[in-house]
């Protein structure tokens, strides 16, 4: 950017590197510590960052395997971690499928059609997506509690009700998908319609195949949202066999039973895939967010 390169510039670059590295070291330190903790024997913290003695006991427990401790006792996994991961995936997939299905056609109509109340509805969606579901936690709990009296599989402690409770992201998804549809040129659909396609056929056979990237991204975002959600799940699920990972992992860290090492291994086991997926999709997420505010 600067046209004239000054002598002091080299020093500035060096300072920049040092500053960034120091900052990164500070922010990454907790992550390194957690890896170190998961490899230390025992459940008490303490010791250096690089463990003197590496033990895979916590990892075995996290993967649902038992191990023999130094005294020859068989230590069993404290919690069904793999089951929790499976529960989380079930709920997250279900909610992602439902909310994506609900959003696609609306996004198409908002992007391509003209009808009364369109601006009003779009603004309404933009306003409503600001309201987090945590504000309606009690209503969500009370509703599913009451529904459960008549329809037990849709009550408290059910994965279906949790998946439905997560569907509130629809407003945001409609905006994200609409933004993408807006950027796809209309000419191809028009050509299809000249050839006799109905608007619905033009949408399904022409626009949707071109919109696969955004559908994947929204699906992954909805899925991740379901995987990491805490408050709603903590209210709706109580049975240990039904918990999702996000609320189950909390059971490791009670003051009376502080399973620090087991928690660390579980956290890494669950965290790596989620983090990887997020890093992979964040580009689209962020561009969607800024597009929403900058381009409109």
Phi, psi dihedral angles at 253 (to 5 degrees): -115, 45
Structure tokens at 177: 């998908």
When asked if residue 67 is in the footprint of another protein (CB under 8 A), the reply is no
Instruction: Say how far apart CA 76 and CA 64 lie, in whole Å.
Output: 8
Helix axis angle, 118-128 relative to 81-112, nearest 10°?
150
- Is residue 143 classed exposed, middle or buried when 0-12, 13-18 and 19+ CB atoms within 10 A define those classes? middle
When asked if residue 153 is in the footprint of another protein (CB under 8 A), the reply is no
Looking at 41, 51, 193, 219, which residue binds another protein (CB under 8 A)? Answer: 193
The sign one gets for the Cα dihedral 69, 71, 72, 76 is negative
When asked if residue 22 is in the footprint of another protein (CB under 8 A), the reply is no
State which of positions 91-120 bind another protein (CB under 8 A).
99, 101-103, 105-110, 112-115
| Cβ atoms < 10 Å from Cβ of 139 | 10
Looking at 18, 54, 65, 142, which residue binds another protein (CB under 8 A)? Answer: 142
Looking at 18, 22, 31, 65, which residue binds another protein (CB under 8 A)? Answer: 31
Instruction: Say how far apart CA 201 and CA 192 lie, in whole Å.
Output: 8
State which of positions 277-296 bind another protein (CB under 8 A).
278-279, 282, 286-287, 289-290, 293-296
Looking at 61, 164, 217, 236, which residue binds another protein (CB under 8 A)? Answer: 164
Looking at 22, 28, 65, 216, which residue binds another protein (CB under 8 A)? Answer: 28
When asked if residue 74 is in the footprint of another protein (CB under 8 A), the reply is no
State which of positions 37-56 bind another protein (CB under 8 A).
37, 44-46
Check if the beta carbon of residue 264 is closer than 8 Å to that of residue 34.
yes
User: Minimum CB separation from another protein for residue 153, in Å?
Assistant: 14
């Amino acid at each position: 950017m600067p046209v004239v390169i000054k002598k002091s510039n080299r020093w500035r670059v060096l300072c920049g590197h040092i500053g960034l590295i120091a900052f990164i070291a500070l922010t990454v330190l907790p992550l390194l510590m957690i890896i170190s903790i998961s490899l230390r024997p025992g459940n008490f913290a303490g010791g250096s960052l690089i463990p003197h003695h590496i033990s895979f006991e916590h990892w075995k427990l996290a993967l649902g395997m038992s191990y023999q401790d130094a005294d020859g006792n068989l230590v069993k996994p404290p919690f069904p971690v793999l089951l929790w991961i499976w529960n989380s995936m079930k709920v997250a997939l279900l909610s992602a499928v439902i909310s994506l299905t609900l959003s696609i056609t609306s996004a198409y109509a908002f992007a391509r059609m003209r009808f009364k109340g369109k601006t009003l509805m779009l603004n309404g969606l933009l306003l409503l997506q600001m309201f987090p579901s945590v504000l309606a936690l009690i209503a969500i709990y009370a509703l599913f509690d009451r529904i459960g009296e008549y329809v037990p599989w849709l009550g408290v402690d059910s994965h279906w009700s949790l998946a439905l409770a997560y569907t509130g992201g629809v407003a945001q998804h409609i905006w994200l998908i609409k933004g993408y549809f807006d950027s796809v040129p209309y000419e191809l659909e028009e050509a299809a319609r000249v050839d006799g396609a109905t608007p619905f056929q033009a949408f399904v056979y022409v626009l949707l195949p071109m919109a696969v990237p955004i559908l994947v991204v929204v699906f992954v975002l909805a899925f991740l949202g379901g995987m990491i959600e805490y408050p709603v799940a903590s209210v709706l699920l109580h049975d240990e066999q039904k918990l999702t990972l996000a609320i189950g992992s909390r059971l490791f860290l009670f003051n009376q039973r502080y399973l620090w090492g087991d928690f660390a291994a579980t956290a890494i086991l669950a965290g790596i895939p989620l983090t990887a997926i997020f890093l992979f999709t964040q580009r689209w997420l962020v561009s969607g967010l800024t597009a929403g505010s900058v381009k409109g």
